């Protein structure tokens, strides 16, 4: 979110302001981390409910209750209701909105201004749609092999597309091109459900984290600081980040499974749990707030080159406002739908790895 808030034309800066601006630039890596986390959690849940009598129904119903009410509610309010109000009609364009309703914006690249950030949700929805079919009849060991092959396939596909001159935004938003993070996160969930693989490494978590950090650091010069617009970042960069993020997510899950530990206490602390609870609404609202309200105000106030100091002060304000909106959205709207998820909880759920 801080990356998105500062991804604007800023005036040249020096010293601390320049350093802070440079630190926010690779913030897009957070999406790669999210994909790895999503793959880990979704695959873990699917493996734990494989023998459920309503495996598909329960999964799709719970995902729909989590994602669709807020998403379609926002689309309806902004793209259907707002254009009917004369005073607000010119504030939002509704052209190209079909891809938003169908979760295909990452393929069509056509969406009303301010809604482009929903490309990542489109990838998630496509993953939710197809992945249960892959997991359904596979053992964790077989699925682990599938995940590794999928991750390799994503790397090879990006290499081919780069060779044919595909633009960086297509590579960045294409579902298949980003499957390595989802697949390797899923591989982590499989790994933790194979005792003969998991047990020998339970005491090696710090070493694994060190390896993940080393891989990440080594990748920095090789990919020009994970530059998405250069061939090294477009090919190897995504894969290095996918490996790093998947290792990180898996190891943190291993730490958290052994309370009391400092990691378990940290990831379970109230501020982080609060951010997690409201994170989906924060994601939905922050891009709209930034593109439709914040960025136009910054440009009107400062011109085309926004001072770095103003942009770096604006970013945490956007984060705070998004959190407050997320809080209101969850408590007043989303949680009423989430209560219905209990209707689709399996009565018997075998969990080889309880922390999942």
Tens digit of pLDDT for each residue in 45-70? 999 999 999 999 999 999 999 999 99
Q: Is residue 262 part of a domain?
A: yes
Q: Is residue 79 part of a domain?
A: yes
Residues 6+ apart with CB under 8 A from 133: none
pLDDT at res. 354: 46
pLDDT at res. 348: 59
pLDDT at res. 356: 40
Q: Is residue 351 part of a domain?
A: no
Q: Is residue 349 part of a domain?
A: no
Q: Is residue 354 part of a domain?
A: no
Q: Is residue 35 part of a domain?
A: yes
Q: Is residue 78 part of a domain?
A: yes
pLDDT tens column, 227-284: 999 999 999 999 999 999 999 999 999 887 776 777 778 888 999 999 999 999 999 9
Note down the domain range covering 281.
2-344
pLDDT at res. 352: 43
Length of the chain: 356
What's the total number of domains in the chain? Answer: 1
Q: Which residues of the chain have pLDDT under 70?
A: 259, 347-356
Alpha helices in the chain (DSSP H): 2-5, 15-24, 29-48, 55-76, 98-101, 105-108, 119-135, 140-163, 168-173, 179-191, 195-198, 205-222, 231-232, 238-256, 262-267, 270-289, 295-302, 308-329, 335-338
């Amino acid at each position: 979110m801080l990356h998105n808030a500062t991804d604007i034309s800023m005036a040249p800066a020096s010293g601390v302001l320049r350093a802070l601006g440079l630190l926010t630039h690779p913030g897009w890596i957070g999406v790669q981390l999210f994909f790895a986390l999503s793959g880990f959690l979704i695959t873990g849940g699917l493996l734990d409910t494989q023998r459920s009598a309503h495996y598909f129904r329960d999964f799709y119903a719970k995902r729909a209750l989590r994602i669709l009410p807020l998403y379609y509610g926002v689309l309806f309010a902004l793209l259907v209701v707002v254009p009917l109000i004369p005073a607000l009609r010119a504030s939002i364009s509704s052209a190209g909105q079909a891809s938003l309703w169908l979760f295909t914006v990452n393929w069509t690249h056509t969406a009303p201004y301010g809604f482009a950030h929903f490309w990542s949700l489109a990838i998630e929805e496509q993953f939710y749609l197809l992945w249960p079919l892959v997991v359904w009849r596979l053992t964790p060991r077989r699925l682990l092999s599938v995940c590794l092959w999928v991750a390799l396939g994503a790397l090879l596909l990006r290499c081919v597309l780069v060779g044919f001159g595909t633009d960086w935004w297509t590579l960045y938003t294409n579902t298949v091109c980003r499957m390595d993070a989802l697949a390797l996160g899923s591989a982590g969930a499989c790994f933790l459900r194979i005792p003969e693989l998991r047990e020998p490494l339970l005491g090696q978590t710090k070493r694994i984290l060190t390896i993940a950090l080393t891989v990440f650091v080594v990748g920095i010069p090789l990919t020009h600081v994970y530059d998405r617009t250069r061939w090294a970042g477009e090919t190897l960069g995504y894969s290095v980040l996918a490996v790093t993020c998947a290792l990180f997510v898996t190891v943190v899950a291993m730490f958290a499974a052994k309370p009391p530990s400092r990691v378990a206490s940290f990831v379970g602390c109230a501020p982080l749990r609060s951010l997690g609870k409201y994170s989906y609404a924060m994601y939905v609202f922050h891009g709209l707030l930034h593109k439709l309200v914040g960025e136009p105000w910054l440009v009107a106030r400062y011109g085309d080159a926004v001072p770095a100091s103003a942009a770096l002060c604006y970013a945490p304000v956007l984060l705070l406002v998004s959190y407050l909106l997320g809080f209101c959205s969850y408590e007043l709207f989303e949680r009423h739908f989430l209560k219905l998820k209990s209707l689709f909880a399996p009565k018997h759920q075998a969990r080889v790895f309880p922390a999942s």
